[in-house]
A and B are shown apart, each in its own frame.
Chain A
Amino acid sequence: MSYSDPQSPLIRIEVDGAAHPVPEGITVIQAMWQIGRPMIHGVGCLGGVCGACPITYRLPNQMASKTALACQTAVRDGMAITFIPSDSSKKAIAPIPNDPPTQKTLFQYYPETRRCTACRACSSVCPQEIDVMGGVRAAINGELAAVAEKFTTCVMCGLCAAVCEVQIKPHRVGMYARRLTGAFYPKEATGLLQRIEEVRAGKYKSAWNQILSADEAALSNYCRSDENIVNDTRIEKT
């Protein structure tokens, strides 16, 4: 299966010190296949959500190296690429407590969070452009819901933890804050709870008996008689 337009002009990239010609307009992962590398580590969903493929790269005449996800980054002429092993930062055994979390709950498992020096390195490397440092600061202030919101799009690549000079694991902190926020959501989903009760109480039993004892023709008619309402939700009201 070809991933490149045969008409594409060739550009040069550098991988682990060696230069390779590759077609323009492909992603860094696709370029690895082009230069003959089968990928096992450093590749995942190919859709920018699994965090398996962080890279650091440098462009010609640029001092600073940049970070990105290889499956979401197009190759550029002169790009020097290094793959970064996917995250192996320490994962605290941080269970969801029985009682609602306090400001200390998170620090119990991630005490280093408080040492943030506000250097902003974490935010600068995030391929999802999350305000990582803002999330860490919110965690320090005990604003768990704000942390949760900030880390909504986190792909857990761990680049933030890799660059933190005081060993904070922002993505892990974000994950734990999200789980605490979800598990102790301030308002009940009453509709859901009611439906669970209805199922338990056997509210649908007779309907099921009728359906499961029907032959295919009867069931088919039953389904079709219901059909006129399928269009109700075409445009959702927000």
Chain B
Amino acid sequence: MNRLEESKELVGETRAARMKENWPLLSQQDKDALIRRFHPDYKKEAYRTIQVGPNAGEQTVHELADLLEGESPVAGEKIALTPHHQVDLLILGGGGAGATAALTAKAAGAKVLLATKLRLGDSNTVMAEGGMQVAVSAEDSPVRHFLDSLRGGYMKNDPILLKTLVEEGPEVAKWLMDLGVLFDREADGNLALRGGGGSSKPRLLRCKDYTGLELMRVLKDCVLNEQVELLEFSPIVELLTDGAGACTGAILKNLDNSQYIVVQAKTVLLATGGIGRLHIQGFPTSNHYGATADGLPIAYRAGARLTLQDTFQYHPTGAVYPEPMAGILVTEAIRSVGAQLVNVKGERFINEMETRDAVASAVIRECAEGRGIETPAGRRGVWLDMPMVDIINGEGTLAHRFPNMLRQFSRYQIDIRKEPVLVYPTLHYQNGGIKINVDGESTVRNLFVAGEASGGIHGRNRLMGNSLLDIIVYGRRAGRAAAKRATEIGFGNLTLGHLDRFHEAQKKAGVEPKAVSPMLFPDYVKKN
């Protein structure tokens, strides 16, 4: 028996004793110390100073800084800025935020065009497993939800953005249910709630462990029913501005024929999503193939300010074995119903319901200090003792509540009801992003942002279940505000003046672009 198998046996042997343990939460002081020592956000050599643009002088990771200071793919191209489309609102991105904004703006009477890199619905939304936080139970309140999120975000959340998020939660849950979203329910008809790390009350609405898929399926169906004009396989590659600081449209690229598409729009909404496929610091990711932070460099060149661009969420429990599953998420909800994290010696090492940054740091600590388990492909991880879930909650709980997890591992002959799995933090979420106001507008006039591309709502660490809420609340707010703005203004001039200014600033700062941005896709193709 090899070391991996031996250690796996230990997990079973120590289970009964571990189940009786009550592991205390860390004091704030100990938690801070743990995070400062082991969390990837505190790894100095992974960061550098941004040299040009609205956030010049501030820090972010090399991978993002290179894109922010990157060259536009349209620089040097001769593109006639004659519009192929003229619309009130151009939405970039077909995930949860983009689809929600499209529905809201269309309902408000706007002429909407939704363009997306892959297909409508292809997004991180579809992959969200755990749920959506809404304070609906009698012992809970939006205020409590606010405080939990603020504490989780290290007090760096924008208070107005956060207050709006939690207060509109119940209303948007109802909106989704009226569209036909099937959240899990109690026998009395009330929404079934589950707890999440850092939350003081159970407030996760869910559809088994397919919550994001359920939301996205319904939103996508609605967008098709409403016959919103769509351009699929047509990502944005550059914004257009009027030369006086306002956004007036965008240049898209048809991926199938490489033609540019010029769109003149009274308002533009970036719902381009997250960043996982940059593989910051070499981490695997739980994210969608298209999560390459496209909106950030594009908005940045047009003059939009970023906020909290130096903080990322590493989800504590990404699979590390078998190799094809590396990076794939094992939902936090599994820990909220009792699954424990266990090191090579069969010992617990953290209260599993600490916030994600603390749990991730603890897993990294165990592995860094030699208490991790190595996989045949050379990755390291710790055990997530999933069989405990059925022992605590009754046989069939895993099968009934986590069918997605059960299925994914069973494809590789791993039965999570019987054996623990190996996990390690996986790059999961961009905590910050493009700075927005409460209507989702960026610091560039008529340029709106919703969803993971935006920043400020979640502070320096997002709580589980707050991103599905974010995309719906702010998708609606931004869609509504952009549609209203479009009734107040006409079409603006289409120029690339912002690129000229950015080039000048680059020259002045002596910055040599290291990349073309947006990246659009990660480069996984083997070079011969």
**Interface residue? A96 (CB, 8 A):** yes
Q: B279: which A residues are within 8 A, CB to CB?
A: 1
Q: A44: which B residues are within 8 A, CB to CB?
A: 118-119, 122, 126, 288-289
Question: CB within 8 A of A152: which of B198, B207, B224?
Answer: B207
Q: Is there an interface contact between A233 and B185, defined as CB atoms closer than 8 Å?
A: no
Q: A199: which B residues are within 8 A, CB to CB?
A: 142, 167, 170-171
What CA separation (Å) do A72 and B526 show in the bound complex? 20
Q: Is there an interface contact between A93 and B225, defined as CB atoms closer than 8 Å?
A: yes
**Interface residue? B138 (CB, 8 A):** yes
Q: Considering only CB atoms, which chain A residue lies closest to B187 in the complex?
A: A187
A228 to chain B, nearest CB (A): 9
Q: Is there an interface contact between A192 and B174, defined as CB atoms closer than 8 Å?
A: yes
**Interface residue? B12 (CB, 8 A):** no
Question: CB within 8 A of A30: which of B207, B324, B337?
Answer: B324
**Interface residue? A163 (CB, 8 A):** no
Give residues 40-57 of A contacting B (CB, 8 Å): 40-41, 43-50, 52
Give residues 167-201 of B contacting A (CB, 8 Å): 167, 170-171, 173-174, 177-183, 185, 188-191, 194-196, 198-201
Q: Which of B48-56, B210-218, B296-304 interfaces with chain A?
A: B210-218
A 18-29 to B, binary, CB cutoff 8 A, 1 in contact else 0: 000000011100
Q: A46: which B residues are within 8 A, CB to CB?
A: 288-289, 328
**Interface residue? B418 (CB, 8 A):** no
Q: B171: which A residues are within 8 A, CB to CB?
A: 196, 199
Q: Considering only CB atoms, which chain A residue lies closest to B134 in the complex?
A: A192
Question: CB within 8 A of B177: which of A41, A155, A189, A238?
Answer: A189
What CA separation (Å) do A134 and B324 show in the bound complex? 32
What CA separation (Å) do A91 and B120 show in the bound complex? 14
**Interface residue? B349 (CB, 8 A):** no
Q: A155: which B residues are within 8 A, CB to CB?
A: 213
Given contacts A33-B526, A52-B122, A95-B225, contact A235 B323 (CB under 8 A): no
A213 to chain B, nearest CB (A): 10
**Interface residue? A211 (CB, 8 A):** yes
Q: A232: which B residues are within 8 A, CB to CB?
A: 195, 200-201
Q: B378: which A residues are within 8 A, CB to CB?
A: 5
**Interface residue? B14 (CB, 8 A):** no
What CA separation (Å) do A35 and B527 show in the bound complex? 9
Q: A192: which B residues are within 8 A, CB to CB?
A: 134, 136, 170, 173-174, 177, 190-191
B218 to chain A, nearest CB (A): 6
Give residues 46-90 of A contacting B (CB, 8 Å): 46-50, 52, 72-74, 86
Q: B28: which A residues are within 8 A, CB to CB?
A: 224, 227
Q: Is there an interface contact between B167 and A204, defined as CB atoms closer than 8 Å?
A: yes
Question: CB within 8 A of A48: which of B198, B220, B408, B528?
Answer: B408
Q: Is there an interface contact between B200 and A230, defined as CB atoms closer than 8 Å?
A: yes
Give residues 131-161 of B contacting A (CB, 8 Å): 134-138, 141-144, 146-148, 150-151, 155, 159-160
A29 to chain B, nearest CB (A): 9
A238 to chain B, nearest CB (A): 5
Question: CB within 8 A of A182: which of B177, B225, B323, B404?
Answer: B177
Q: B122: which A residues are within 8 A, CB to CB?
A: 44-45, 50, 52
A222 to chain B, nearest CB (A): 7
What CA separation (Å) do A129 and B403 show in the bound complex? 11
What CA separation (Å) do A38 and B525 show in the bound complex? 6
Q: Is there an interface contact between A189 and B182, defined as CB atoms closer than 8 Å?
A: no
**Interface residue? A105 (CB, 8 A):** no
Q: A93: which B residues are within 8 A, CB to CB?
A: 224-225, 227
Q: Is there an interface contact between B376 and A52, defined as CB atoms closer than 8 Å?
A: no
Q: B397: which A residues are within 8 A, CB to CB?
A: 238
Q: A190: which B residues are within 8 A, CB to CB?
A: 188-190
Question: CB within 8 A of B126: which of A39, A45, A129, A219?
Answer: A45
Question: CB within 8 A of B217: which of A156, A180, A191?
Answer: A156
What CA separation (Å) do A195 and B169 show in the bound complex? 10
A221 to chain B, nearest CB (A): 11
Q: Considering only CB atoms, which chain B residue lies closest to A210 in the complex?
A: B143
Q: List 7 A-B contacts (CB under 8 A).
A: A1-B522, A45-B288, A189-B136, A192-B170, A233-B196, A235-B337, A236-B338
**Additional A-B contact list (19), CB under 8 Å, known A204-B167, A232-B195, A236-B338:** A1-B522, A41-B233, A44-B119, A45-B288, A47-B328, A91-B221, A152-B403, A175-B221, A182-B177, A187-B185, A189-B189, A191-B191, A195-B170, A199-B142, A199-B167, A211-B163, A212-B159, A220-B155, A231-B25
Interface residue ranges, B against A (CB under 8 Å): 25, 28, 118-119, 121-122, 126-127, 134-138, 141-144, 146-148, 150-151, 155, 159-160, 163, 167, 170-171, 173-174, 177-183, 185, 188-191, 194-196, 198-202, 207-208, 210, 212-213, 217-218, 220-221, 224-225, 227, 233, 255, 279, 282, 286, 288-289, 322-324, 326, 328-329, 336-338, 351-353, 376-378, 392-394, 397, 403-404, 407-408, 411-412, 521-522, 524-526, 528
Closest 10 CB pairs of A and B: A187-B189, A179-B180, A233-B195, A182-B180, A182-B182, A5-B377, A33-B524, A183-B180, A27-B324, A195-B170
